[in-house]
């Protein structure tokens, strides 16, 4: 399938508008294929399920003819049939019994019980066990839940044909002939594509004139979902298997070298303090991932996000330094100002419960070099650029767009991240493939280790370009990354 490129979306007020939604209003739930229409045409689905495509079409043909000739029904949705007069229902059910038999429709009596429609229940009940009936409906639904699946298109074709023979749908003769060919095999791929497009466009016309029968749809889903259990499965990735400790040791060795360099060369250099400080923070986050094996954990995403942001910030400040030599002081002041704000809020808060924010530590840090009364507090982004703008300015747009945004979803608890990490998928079509909270299973998300190596190596190379790192040490981390990339490819 070809996906629409981002450039084709209209970006307005911070939102990417899909080109499809520019000229089509989305179909509401009760008219959507899976939720709204499949329950209505489940009787057709059962016929295909029992007899297969060709035989299914062969048997449906006289059924449609009988409904057309003997009733005034203009729709063949199950809800329309159930709401018809007793005499008309009798005609439809007799046609079904004549051409597909009791066994084919019997599974549906678990949904359309005597309480819902006594005539249906009476005509189609047989000795089939409830579990068996439910299983048949589940298997049948599984095949046709996807609205683009071939099985779903076969079913959707049947009401279109009925609308045509009832004269409710009009089209040119050539189009009608083409549509009619659909039920036969051996159409060329090109023809099938044309027919598919024709089916979809006719359906939209019909749907716009249809009113969904919410009561029946609710009855269907309530009955079928209550009769079946969740069938849960977890989509997990392998635990990280690389020799991560080896890489960690190589990086640690380089950071030890930086520490010595700073102490020996210029311990009062503000620029070096800030740059090495930020890089060391990245190292510490990598160290936590290593020590606590967080590569496959949710926390790992927070770690790599922070490493990316740190790297972008380092590049960003070195870029600004050309026109602003006090940038290093400003960075410190900005961060301390944030701490002061937290401190001030805590002092003014009545609730003095024990928390992880320790006001004594904050007080010591805020007052470390400057009396706090002289400390400003800036609540904007540092230098007014958000991280997206900073990344773009230092030519690291991809690092931001491809990874940082994804990890941010985990940091902010957005639904994509919740769905991926904390919900289990239920494989039961009768439950509409819903998701349920994952309480017992361990989460093994795809490992962040490769990205840690990628970003940490970029960070170290950046520091190398500023301060120089012995070639042998750089060679070791580069080799490590090359081996990884080689293995991945």
Binding site for Zn ion (CB under 5 A): 230, 426, 428, 431
CB nearer to Zn ion: pick between 244 and 428:
428
> 43 exposed, middle or buried (CB, 10 Å; 0-12, 13-18, 19+)?
buried
Least Å distance, CB 231 to Zn ion, is: 7
CB nearer to Zn ion: pick between 423 and 474:
423
CB nearer to Zn ion: pick between 82 and 426:
426
Least Å distance, CB 27 to Zn ion, is: 24
Least Å distance, CB 111 to Zn ion, is: 17
Least Å distance, CB 228 to Zn ion, is: 7
Least Å distance, CB 426 to Zn ion, is: 3
What are the backbone dihedrals phi and psi of residue 425, each rounded to the nearest 5 degrees, phi first? Answer: -90, 140
Least Å distance, CB 230 to Zn ion, is: 3
DSSP sequence for 106-162:
GGGGGTS-TTT-HHHHHHH--S--HHHHHHHHHHHHHHH-STTSHHHHHHHHHHHHH
What are the backbone dihedrals phi and psi of residue 8, each rounded to the nearest 5 degrees, phi first? Answer: -85, -10
CB nearer to Zn ion: pick between 230 and 365:
230
Least Å distance, CB 221 to Zn ion, is: 12
Spatial contact of 228 and 138, defined as CB atoms under 8 Å apart:
yes
- Mapped onto helix, strand or coil, the DSSP state of residue 437 is strand
CB nearer to Zn ion: pick between 39 and 300:
39
CB nearer to Zn ion: pick between 138 and 459:
138
Least Å distance, CB 98 to Zn ion, is: 37
Torsion of CA 209, 211, 212, 216, to 10 degrees: -130
Residue 51: partners with Cβ closer than 8 Å, 6 or more residues away: 58, 59, 100, 104
C-alpha torsion sign, points 255, 259, 260, 264:
positive
CB nearer to Zn ion: pick between 138 and 153:
138
Spatial contact of 74 and 168, defined as CB atoms under 8 Å apart:
yes
Least Å distance, CB 167 to Zn ion, is: 43
Instruction: Tell me the C-alpha distance between 350 and 329, whole Å.
Output: 34
CB nearer to Zn ion: pick between 156 and 431:
431
CB nearer to Zn ion: pick between 38 and 63:
38
H helices of 30-106, where? 42-51, 53-70, 78-83, 86-99, 102-105
Instruction: Tell me the C-alpha distance between 375 and 333, whole Å.
Output: 8
Instruction: Let me know the angle formed at the C-alpha of 156 by 155 and 161, rounded to the nearest 5 degrees.
Output: 100
């Amino acid at each position: 399938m070809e996906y629409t490129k981002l450039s084709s979306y209209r970006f307005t007020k911070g939102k990417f508008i899909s080109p499809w939604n520019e000229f089509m209003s989305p179909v509401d739930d009760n008219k959507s294929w899976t939720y709204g229409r499949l329950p209505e045409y489940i009787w057709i689905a059962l016929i295909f399920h029992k007899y297969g495509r060709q035989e299914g079409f062969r048997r449906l043909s006289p059924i449609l003819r009988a409904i057309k000739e003997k009733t005034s029904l203009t729709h063949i949705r199950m809800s329309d049939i159930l709401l018809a007069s007793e005499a008309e229902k009798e005609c439809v059910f007799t046609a079904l019994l004549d051409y597909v038999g009791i066994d084919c429709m019997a599974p549906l009596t678990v949904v359309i019980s005597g309480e819902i429609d006594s005539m249906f229940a009476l005509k189609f009940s047989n000795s089939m066990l409830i579990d068996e009936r439910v299983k048949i409906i589940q298997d049948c639904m599984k095949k046709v839940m996807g609205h683009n699946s071939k099985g779903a298109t076969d079913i959707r074709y049947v009401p279109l044909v009925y609308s045509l023979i009832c004269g409710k749908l009009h089209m040119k003769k050539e189009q009608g002939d083409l549509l009619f060919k659909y039920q036969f095999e051996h159409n060329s791929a090109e023809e099938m594509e044309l027919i598919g497009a024709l089916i979809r466009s006719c359906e939209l016309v019909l749907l716009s004139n249809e009113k969904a029968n919410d009561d029946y749809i609710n009855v269907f889903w309530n009955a079928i979902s209550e009769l079946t259990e969740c069938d849960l499965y977890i989509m997990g990735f392998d635990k990280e298997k690389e020799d991560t400790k080896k890489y960690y040791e190589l990086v640690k060795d380089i950071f030890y070298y930086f520490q010595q360099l700073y102490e020996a060369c210029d311990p009062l250099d503000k620029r070096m303090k800030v740059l090495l400080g930020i890089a060391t923070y990245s190292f510490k986050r990598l160290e936590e991932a290593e020590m606590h094996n967080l590569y496959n954990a949710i926390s790992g995403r927070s770690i790599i996000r922070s490493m990316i942001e740190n790297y972008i910030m380092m590049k960003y400040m070195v870029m600004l330094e050309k026109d602003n030599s006090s940038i290093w002081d400003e960075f410190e002041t900005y961060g301390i100002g944030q701490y002061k704000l937290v401190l001030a809020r805590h002092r003014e808060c009545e609730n003095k419960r024990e928390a992880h924010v320790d006001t004594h530590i904050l007080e010591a840090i805020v007052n470390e070099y400057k009396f706090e009364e002289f400390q400003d507090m800036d609540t904007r982004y540092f230098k007014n650029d958000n991280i997206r703008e900073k990344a773009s300015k230092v030519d690291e747009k991809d690092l931001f767009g491809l990874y940082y945004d994804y990890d941010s979803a985990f940091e902010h608890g957005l639904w994509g991240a919740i769905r991926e990490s904390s919900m289990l998928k239920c494989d039961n079509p009768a439950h509409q493939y819903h998701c349920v909270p994952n309480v017992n299973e361990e989460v093994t998300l795809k490992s962040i280790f490769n990205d840690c190596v990628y970003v940490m190596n970029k960070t170290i190379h950046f520091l190398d370009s500023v301060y120089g790192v012995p070639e042998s040490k750089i060679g070791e981390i580069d080799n490590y990354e090359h081996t990884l990339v080689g293995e991945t490819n």
